[in-house]
Amino acid sequence: MWRVKLFETRPGTETFDVSQLVSAASWTARLNGQGTASHTLKLHGSDLRGDLLREVTRGNKYTVVQLWGDTVVYAGVLGDSDWDEASSTLTLQSKELRASLAAARATFGVNQYNPSAVALTITARSHGGAVRVVGTAIQSPSSEWNLNLTLPPMDAGSFSAVFRHEEKLTFENMLAQIEADGCEITFRPYLINGVLWWQVLVAERLQLGTATDLAARAPGSIVTDLKVKTSTATLATGVLAFGKGQGQDTPYAYAPLSGSGATDQPVRDVIVTFPDIEAIPGAIAPGRPGYTAPPRLQAAANAEYARRRYPVDQWSFGLQVYTLGPGLALPGSALRLWVYGSARIADGAHLKRVVALAGDLSMKVTPEVQDG
């Protein structure tokens, strides 16, 4: 069953169990860490008042956690709050850690800025190794910067980058550059001996655990309200990608590198920009014989083309989780839906990967899925 607790964000220690006070909730956990939530606490007659209540509404210091048993389904750093005097209710707004803190944090303190300095150098690391370098750097200035992050191993690979103070890059900016190279990054909240941590997972395509089999149309199935929308909004037959630069010196890459993406359809090529990806110092300039696209820019173009190559079937459905719990559908989980007898959906198994999970305080959750 659902429980809602408040933890101190930095040490990760539990502070308040507000399960009995929560009268309404709406939350969405996302694989990319951009989820948000709203929790309303009815405080008439409770002990959470006065200085304690003002302490909770300080915001960033606390994180609201929605649990099913010991499984963290959503964890969001507190931000804005709304107090209603007439009803004695407090509504807490929150964002997942990456959306809340990564978007604002640099790798250096405000008193350490040096316009000519290098903030961080990453040399020949895997995507996970690059995230570890960045994740370590954004906690390095002092103990006050520490977060409970379980970072990936420091593996070698092909990713290299130089981040400068003058670029004014945040933790999120750096993560986005690594993702643009062809990977996914998720911050998965969990408890260790009652302390809140975030496991930072990195993969070309994140899928956590084995797929759960679900009969989508069988009587008594936990799957409800199945719908499919086919979207062609992002469809592209080719991608021309530009990096950081000016005029004719701007590095570029394109995908596909060979063949045509428009063999049986009208051309629908697109132009995209990755303003943080630079040319390699000393490399042949764009437009001159022998020019080769920077590896990071080429990887970004390839990844963008892969995302846009085919129409997207957007499945939507609910899950009644009273018996199984919501853990089977956390972001990154795989669901194998078996469908037979549909006029639109082909018979057989359809593997889906959960990229977001939304819910409230009821026994129904709604996953957002992509093809697995």
pLDDT of residue 100: 95
- Which percentage of the chain shows pLDDT scores above 70? 100
Please state the pTM of the whole predicted model.
Answer: 0.85
Mean pLDDT of the region 272-297: 89
pLDDT of residue 16: 92
pLDDT tens track for 59-76: 899 999 999 999 999 999
The long-range contacts involving 244-251, CB below 8 angstroms and separated by at least 24 positions, are 244/274, 244/275, 244/276, 244/277, 244/278, 244/279, 245/278, 245/279, 245/286, 248/286, 248/287, 249/279, 249/285, 249/286, 250/286, 251/277, 251/278, 251/279, 251/286, 251/293, 251/294, 251/297
Nearest to 181 by CA among 34, 302, 332, 310: 302
The rounded distance, in Å, linking the Cα atoms of 327 and 176 is 27
pLDDT tens track for 326-369: 999 999 999 999 999 888 899 999 999 999 999 999 999 999 99
pLDDT of residue 314: 84
The rounded distance, in Å, linking the Cα atoms of 211 and 350 is 11
Nearest to 199 by CA among 366, 33, 42: 33
pLDDT of residue 46: 83
- Is 47's pLDDT higher than 90? no
Residue corresponding to tokens 């080429």: 298
Could you count the other beta carbons within 10 Å of the beta carbon of residue 335?
Answer: 23
Higher pLDDT, 74 or 50: 74
The rounded distance, in Å, linking the Cα atoms of 18 and 42 is 10
Helix axes 127-137, 171-180, angle to 10 degrees: 170
- Is 372's pLDDT higher than 80? no
Q: What is the mean pLDDT of the chain?
A: 93
pLDDT of residue 10: 94
Mean pLDDT of the region 146-172: 95
Helix axes 295-308, 171-180, angle to 10 degrees: 70
The rounded distance, in Å, linking the Cα atoms of 355 and 315 is 12
- Residue 254 token pair: 């394109």
pLDDT of residue 64: 98
> 94: exposed, middle or buried (C-beta count within 10 Å: 0-12, 13-18, 19+)?
buried
pLDDT tens track for 253-266: 999 998 888 888 89
Comparing 181-190, 276-285, 292-301, which segment has the lowest mean pLDDT?
276-285
Report yes or no: 77 and 95 within 8 Å, Cβ to Cβ.
Answer: yes
Higher pLDDT, 115 or 280: 115
Mean pLDDT of the region 137-160: 95
